[in-house]
Amino acid sequence: MGKSQFTLSNQVSRNKTSSQKEFDMTHLVQTAQNVAMVILKEAGSRARRLVKSMAYAPLLLASAAATAADPPVTTQIVDLANKLNGVHPGFRAFHAKGIVAEGSFKASPEAAQLSRATLFNGDTIPVTVRFSDGNGMPNVADGSPAGNPHGMAIKYQLPGGTATDMVTNSLKFFPAGTAEDFRDLLLAIIASPPDAPKPTKLEQFFASHPNAPKAFGTAATPDSYADEKYHGINAFIFVSNTGQRQAVRYQLVPEKLVHLTPEEAAKQSPDFLSDELTKRIAQKPVVFHLKAQLAEAGDQTKDGSQPWPDDRKVVDLGVLTLDRLVPNSLEAQKKLLFMPTNLTNGIELSDDPLPIARTTAYAVSFGRRSQPGLVSSGRDDFNARTSNAPTQASTVSP
């Protein structure tokens, strides 16, 4: 398989923050627009008919207001994802296609100095990990630009039957800092087909949110789910045994980082990432280092679209080892829900609003995929398109 291999240091240099390196905005905007066009094209090719809006019975954190005339912004986001990618009963609105692995995590001594969380006490902690492609189409080709960014969600099984989650993706930072901005980004993508008048709604959004195209510019197709670096785009607060508080952002760092060029990615089979992981993990365990980038005084924590400088200290929190896939990944994924706010003592939310918004949106999506027929909030302007169901077995997620 042809590939372009980078060291981690080289990859960081390629993705400098705006304070360190001037971005070619024309190129980044065009790249982001191309990704949006691919998503619109692939969603349109699968859409077959409009479905009548239905009332939605909210689940978990989604309230009854989700069915109101003016639903919460998180419900609007899920509606827009369904409109953009199509409605696929039983599948997630975002990161629909994926594969589930299992293994363990063992923390480093440095982790216990930063946080009193049981997760970091040095015991071997069982984990369930879901790798995924980025959009809401369960049959998206792994090598398509529409498959970016890729995701890695982790559920740590703690003593006493509890769990804590981490939800990361391959963007170095997020294209929007609030749920409202992310909703507006989705609206702009939908309103910017190839024949849209200039400047398109997407171009206008990028002009007012210059970090959005920069964020998209940090994503690329890896040669393996195991050869990608994943970022926890939101800030969390570690609390130590002495009560010391430290803002952090997570990183999941592979043993090597390998990205394909767009031309190489286009030549791969549709499910090459899942197929490759299946073969790889049967031969040897997949290893990641969980790391934390530490904020310094003055670093803001409330906006996931604003990365911290690359020179901030990074601490190795421990080793995550995956040694097997679950027997029936498709069915396993239907029962899994990863929530950024599912924390444990010693790890707290910061003032970043996105973890709560993400959890609420995931709950809306989980409720719909768990109850066939419940596909929208009931608003006529969020009518969703439904697609043909997958006709062959594949490692796709609900």
User: Which residues are catalytic, by number?
Assistant: 95
**Partners of 189 in the beta sheet?**
none
DSSP SS3 for 210: coil
H-run or E-run covering 12 = helix 8-14
Q: Which long-range contacts (CB under 8 A, 24 or more apart) does 188-197 make?
A: 189/36, 189/39, 189/40, 189/84, 190/40, 190/80, 190/83, 190/84, 192/33, 192/36, 192/40, 193/37, 193/40, 194/37, 194/40
Residues 145 and 189: their CA atoms lie apart, in Å, by: 15
Contact 372, 309 (CB under 8 A): no
Residue type, 389: A
With tokens 């929530």, the residue in question is: 339
Q: What is the DSSP letter of 222?
A: B
Residue type, 209: H
Residues 2 and 263: their CA atoms lie apart, in Å, by: 10
Contact 36, 189 (CB under 8 A): yes
CB atoms near residue 321 (< 10 Å): 15
